[in-house]
Copies of this chain bind each other. A is one copy, B any other.
Amino acid sequence: MAYKATKFLDTQPSVIASAAVGGKMESEGPLGEYFDKINEDPYLSSDTYEQGESQLQKQAVIHCLQKVGLKGSDIDVLFGGDLLNQCVGTTYGVRSFGIPFLGLYAACSTMSEGLMLASLFVDRGISDRTMAVTSSHFCTAERQYRFPLGYGGQRPPTSQWTVTAGGALIVGEHGGPPYVRACTVGKIVDMGVSDANNMGAAMAPAAFTTVKTFFDDTGMAPSDFDCIVTGDLGKVGSRVLCELMQREGIDISHNHKDCGLMMYHLQQQDVHSGASGCGCAGSTLCGYFIPKLRSGEFRNILFSATGALMSPTVSQQGESIPSISHLVWLSSETTV
């Protein structure tokens, strides 16, 4: 039997809580009402933007715990990561909770990897209750990946705007919808795109590979899902993904949603090709999709966040951008 990257979760564990926190610009976008907390101050009352990003994770964890009346000590393992060098958004954000911690690096696909591992740990009896968290911050990402903020560099039309937001969720054995039904571990895909201002195009083949693998492994089709959610391909990457799928005879154009296209009013908020950052897919899943799966407004979604795995150092050395996408199937219904 050939190996299948797709794993079904025998017990179909629940996402028992989720929370999303954001910044001012996120509050002014189409998803503004779905955040649990908005921070007008980009420093979040800290001394530096990096400490501010850590606050986003701390807030997301606290809001998430509070919703179900839990404490940090009720969580068995916390999975987390972010875009910052050495994932300091996460480590400084969660260090005070004292929760056993497993650090991840998956760039903007971190919430997919975190949700996947958190769900597998509960499903396979490794843990009773797990948590996943991630964040991104426009000001930390901009100066780390591109230019000092004060420089005021021009942004090309294919560029995306890093979301200032955090998302956290808790997975447990029992807790009602949404249920985690299956997941697909992504492969690193590198089609040779080397323009760090066009990450949507670099990441689209990774999303294509993972979503197609899921359909091949399960025999399911796009019509089985209310939404096939990617993050964060933006305008350019979303078009590339739909075209790649179309070539394989799979039409996702009607139910494809990209978190990078949902977060902002593209024209009015001047974000060019859309949004990006771990916090984009992370907060959109935790603030928008999970509550709508819980209420039954959505019945089934595929969540396949995408990550670009380059660094500024290797980009400047002329390297292309390897990308990855991990997929999780979430459902309002359980069959077990």
Contacts and interface: CB of A to CB of B under 8 A. Distances in A.
Given A50-B317, A91-B188, A94-B188, A86 B107 contact: yes
A103 B92 contact: no
Nearest to A183: B126
Contacts of A254: none
A310 B105 CA distance: 15
Given A95-B190, A100-B185, A104-B104, A50 B84 contact: no
Contacts of A51: 314, 317, 319
Nearest to A125: B124
A95 B322 contact: yes
B50 A313 contact: yes
User: Interface range on chain A: under 10, 10 to 19, 20 to 34, or 35 or more?
Assistant: 35 or more
A204 interface: no
A39 B5 CA distance: 34
A76 interface: yes
A309 interface: yes
A7 interface: yes
Interface in A278-336: 309-314, 317, 319, 322, 324, 326
Contact of A92 (B73, B101, B319): B319
B313 A91 contact: no
B85 A86 contact: yes
Nearest to A106: B103
Interface in A172-210: 185-188, 190
Nearest to A322: B95
A41 interface: no
Contacts of A312: 85
A329 B3 CA distance: 28
A85 B311 contact: yes
Given A124-B124, A309-B87, A100 B317 contact: no
A101 B98 CA distance: 28
Interface string A222-265: 00000000000000000000000000000000000000000000
A120 B113 contact: no
A77 interface: yes
Interface of A: 3, 5, 7, 47-48, 50-51, 73, 76-77, 81, 83-88, 91-92, 94-95, 98-107, 113, 117, 120-121, 124-126, 128, 144, 185-188, 190, 309-314, 317, 319, 322, 324, 326
30 contacts: A3-B128, A5-B100, A50-B314, A51-B314, A51-B319, A77-B185, A81-B105, A83-B86, A84-B311, A85-B312, A85-B313, A86-B105, A86-B107, A86-B309, A86-B311, A88-B309, A88-B311, A91-B310, A92-B322, A95-B188, A95-B190, A101-B186, A101-B324, A102-B104, A102-B113, A104-B104, A105-B105, A120-B124, A120-B126, A124-B126
